[in-house]
Structure 1
Amino acid sequence: MDWDKLRIFHAVADAGSLTHAGDVLHLSQSAVSRQIRALEESLGVTLFHRHARGLILTEQGELLFEATSSMGRKLDAAAARIRDSEEDVFGELKVTTPVGFGTLWLVPRLPKLYEKYPDLKIELLLEERVLDLPMREADVAIRMKEPSQSDLIRRRLLNIRMRLYASEQYLAENGTPPSIEELGNHRLICQSPSTPQVSSGAVLTQMLLAQSLGSTLMVNNYFGVLQGVLANLGIGVLPDYLVADFEGLVRVMPEIESGDVPVFLAFPEELRQSRRVMAFRDFVLEEIQSYRKWQSESGGD
């Protein structure tokens, strides 16, 4: 099968238009059309339904597009290995993390990584959805649970817990509740239990919301919860790692906390030798080690 025709087919299927594919490939529409017709003739099938709004893959076309997509991922991985055989760390790296951890912990630390590897191009995917690493939706993942796929290299980074925090100013103005029974005199800031999040965090939030509360503020991620706490709006449910970067946070009712939430770093087996992946892994491990050192010296648990 002609590789060039497959490349053109993939571009057309991806763009859904001969014209747009031609723009990407720097070919005329007629040249792209000829190549698609030739490929269809060689296979003896119709690959696209032609409509006024564009092109839609037939069943046979979808099968071929799945194959060309797989080929593309393998070629990208091979190219990454070839580039990574050089001394320098450079090129693109897709990293996925939950919104809270990525926004509040990872991003503020990235200047150190870029300072060491200025030619690195990171695409940070912040979402709660678990992306498929073997299918190369991302190169590296930081997840709040152990990955279930067997073909991944994984490393447990640390355990975190969700706890109650407030600002010094809020507590000075409103007092510190001595027990959970007194929480009703304060505004609780948290995620809704139905919001995608670690199960132990949802369980803790559900328990707190079951109290007789006069006022609440619900936000769909921990960044929003943190901003509410820093704005002196009330007492928030937040991950414990934040106290290392936000000294103004004061823990409230230390007896109330979630269970352990394991944090894992994972990447596909095929990227074991990737210099970019190894550089990112080492950077994260160094930062985790620094956090643990701070935790030990500050007396945090």
Structure 2
Amino acid sequence: MDWDDAKFFLAVAREGQMLGAAKRLGTSQARLSRRVSALEEAVGARLLERTTRGSELTEDGRIIFEAAERMEAEMLESLARLQGRRGEVRGTIRIGAPDGFGAAFLAPRLHRLTHIYPDLRVELVPMPHAFSLSRREADIAVMVGRPDRGRLRVQRLADYTLRCYASAGYLARCGTPATPADLEGHDLVGYVEDMIPTSELAYAGEILPGWRSRIEVSTAVGQLAAVRSGAGIGIVHDFMAAGSDLVPVLPGHIVTRTYWMAWHENLRVAQRVRIAAEFIEAQVREARTLFRP
């Protein structure tokens, strides 16, 4: 497998369309199509089905996609280790992120980055209601919903899902709701209503219009702790609930949101920013089944 052709194929598979992949790679759709066709010819199989909605992986395409991702991961790790040993990546990188993503997902993985780059110092800060990449309040920001202001480089990280959860103890004590309307008879856990930082997080009404929380907590991590304690039923990120003792409630009622990553375009050539952004993307990609189980 030609690695150059594989890179083009990976971009199309991840973007789901030729145009988006071409923009991301800074090349033409014609050249991109030629490289993917060359890979298909080399492996002797059709890897993508081109439709009016975009490009979808075939069964053979999924096999090659997984192989190409392994090649990419090994190459990036090898390059990272070489650069790290030469001390080429140094300084401080500040990452701003929502508390759920930052504290529950990214924080336990940051040691992987500093292990490869011992001269890199990482700061992880909670994402406030308002922030400014141009004023360097963060070098990289992970956010819910695509930003539409500023001179930013923006990358889609992952869709993620949330649903209602409760502790086994709470359900044994108060019963299990069968429909969203049944939630009205239960203790509910949610955000502090007038402190929700973005409309993207006002998702409780998608499960139950008029949702009223008995316990309001201004952070996702705090809501998780309250629900695990048996305080009531709350809407929890699936990746945060994974591996816990929480029980899904109304499992067919799911909320979907998207994480985006952004950094100021003036930093696009800063090596530490590029390395950190690639690291975050790789960690999310590796754990993609957690975000949408």
- TM-score norm. by structure 1 comes to 0.61
Give the C-alpha shift of residue 263 in structure 1: 1.0
Shift of 1:203: 4.2
C-alpha separation between the residues in 2 aligned to 1:115 and 1:267?
Answer: 23
- Where does 1:1-301 land on structure 2 (aligned, <5 Å)? 87-205=87-205, 208=208, 210=210, 216-244=214-242, 246-258=243-255, 260-294=256-290, 300=293
Identity of aligned residues (%): 31
CA displacement, residues 46-98 of structure 1 (integer Å, 9 cap, x when unaligned): xxxxxxxxxxxxxxxxxxxxxxxxxxxxxxxxxxxxxx9x7532211121112
Residue in 1 aligned with 2:8? none
Counterpart secondary structure, 1:138: coil
SS at match of 2:202: helix
What letter matches 1:285 in structure 2? E
Counterpart amino acid of residue 109 in structure 1 = R
Runs in 1 of length 4+ with deviation above 6 angstroms? none
The verdict on how the C-alpha distance between 1:118 and 1:175 changes in structure 2, with shifts beyond 3 A counting, is farther
Using structure 2 for the length normalisation, give the TM-score: 0.63
Q: CA deviation at 1:111?
A: 2.2
* Residue 116 of structure 1, CA deviation: 2.0
| Aligned partners of 1:161 and 1:261 also within 8 Å | yes
> Residue 198 of structure 1 contacts residue 261 of structure 1 at CA under 8 Å; is this kept in 2?
no
Counterparts of 1:287 and 1:193, CA distance in 2: 32
For residues 166 and 128 of structure 2, the distance between their equivalents in structure 1, rounded to whole angstroms, comes to 25
Partner of 1:161, secondary structure, is strand
Q: How many angstroms apart in 2 are the aligned matches of 1:220 and 1:294?
A: 23
Distance 2:203 2:290 in 1: 28
Q: CA deviation at 1:145?
A: 1.6
CA contact (8 A) 1:104 1:223 kept: yes
CA shift digits 1:178-231 (9 cap, x unpaired): 1123223321111133222342431425864726x7x71111111110100111
8 Å Cα contact 1:128-1:196 kept in structure 2: no
Provide the alpha-carbon RMSD of the alignment. Answer: 2.6
Whether the 8 Å contact between 1:192 and 1:202 is mirrored in structure 2 is: no
Deviation at 1:127, TM superposition (A): 2.8
**1:193, 1:205 within 8 Å by CA — same for their partners in 2?**
no
Q: Cα–Cα, structure 1 residues 227 and 284, in superposed 2: closer, same or farther, change >3 Å?
A: same
What are the superposed Cα offsets for residues 12-54 of structure 1, whole Å, 9 maximum, x if unpaired? xxxxxxxxxxxxxxxxxxxxxxxxxxxxxxxxxxxxxxxxxxx
Change (3 A) 1:292 1:229: same
Secondary structure (helix, strand or coil) at the match of 1:165 reads strand
Larger Rg: 1
Give, in whole Å, the separation in 2 of the partners of 1:217 and 1:134. Answer: 36
Q: CA deviation at 1:169?
A: 3.5
Shift of 1:239: 2.3
Cα distance in 2 for residues equivalent to 1:172 and 1:284: 39
* Pair 1:112–1:174, CA change in 2 (3 A): farther
Residue 177 of structure 1, CA deviation: 1.2
2:165/2:247 contact within 8 Å kept: yes
Find the aligned partners of 2:118 and 2:159 in 1 and give their Cα distance.
31
Q: Cα–Cα, structure 1 residues 123 and 261, in superposed 2: closer, same or farther, change >3 Å?
A: same
Q: How many residue pairs get matched? A: 209
Q: Which runs of 5+ in 1 are unaligned?
A: 1-83
CA distance in 1, matches of 2:290, 2:209: 32
C-alpha spacing 1:167/1:221, structure 2 compared with 1 (3 Å): same
